[in-house]
Chain A
């Protein structure tokens, strides 16, 4: 999975470039830090959905799913492992590029670790929800590509709570409970739904 890091690097270059454009455009305007957070999270959402889609397109093609189904592991376990690897890949790149993003969006560095923890928790849910989206859009029937948007409302709570996170006391671990609870919910359902969609729609 880490061999595919070039792809992630390109995606994070996109985040840095896009945030620079926002940063430059809003240079002379006093903007609320919530807008910066919104920009980060929307860009993060786009990167996650593209990354997961790419990995699923390559790693869950027809003959590969057939081999996975004949393996000793349940497809759910393979989906879980793939998602965790994608997550590690993304979270590492976010940690590396976040100082640049903070600079370009003029975010106070006193929030550095808090925002990184928040991003790490959000990314868990984003990756797991994106895997459901990718498994539907990779189906044999092209008509289902549009159907995959049914999963988009699942991303909204993460975006809303992340944007509002700066108002919360980020030093207090209780502020992160929502993200953790939402991740647990996704962890319970996402591998099941993803593997179900892969089995039923891609074969």
Chain B
């Protein structure tokens, strides 16, 4: 269980998050909604322990979130691409899997690429991929790294209809495997039993 209690965050003199309380259990999907600038990404960054809140706590079961817990249990996919422009798709995948302590398995990589892209030359430089293809690569880590909590910042943005369906399926599979998924988005995914939290 992930529990956020009285979480506030300020940047300079501006209070961005004020006394947020929410909790999410295994096999649940939490949708964080709100207009632009309402602090959705900031909330996710606090959850992932990237930034320190002004006050409040984030607990993972009974433990206060720290670097060790977050790196062991969380996958964070931000709005922007993390890939290296001058490396190929395969080199990027190998790099990020190694950084996450996963031994690259070519069979699993090919299977995931086939599912997300259909046909794709994995030796193509990331720089030469289309905008949509670049967006999809962010999702590949979700399929190749096994961690219980997914924190996704606007994951559907820039994806075509078919890719949105595929990502929705990946998310629902993760939920069925007892995963916790936290999504900040404007696009309503076609999933049932979502928990919602509105940042106004």
Contacts and interface: CB of A to CB of B under 8 A. Distances in A.
Contacts of A203: 45, 50-51
Given A67-B96, A203-B51, A72 B101 contact: yes
Q: What range describes how many residues of A lie at the interface?
A: 20 to 34
Contact of B99 (A3, A62, A73): A73
B86 A72 contact: no
Interface string A114-156: 0000000000000000000000000000000000000000000
Contacts of B74: 70
A71 interface: yes
Interface string A170-203: 0000000000000000000000000000010001
Interface string A81-110: 000000000000000000000000000000
A69 B67 CA distance: 7
A203 B48 CA distance: 12
Given A3-B87, A4-B86, A67 B50 contact: no
A70 B84 CA distance: 17
Interface string B152-190: 000000000000000000000000000000000000000
A54 interface: no
A51 to B, nearest CB: 15
B153 to A, nearest CB: 9
Interface of B: 45, 48-51, 67, 70-71, 74-76, 78-82, 84-87, 96, 99-101
29 contacts: A3-B86, A3-B87, A4-B86, A58-B84, A59-B84, A61-B80, A62-B78, A62-B80, A63-B78, A63-B81, A63-B82, A66-B50, A66-B78, A66-B82, A67-B76, A67-B99, A68-B99, A69-B48, A69-B50, A69-B67, A69-B70, A70-B48, A70-B75, A72-B100, A72-B101, A74-B67, A199-B50, A203-B45, A203-B50
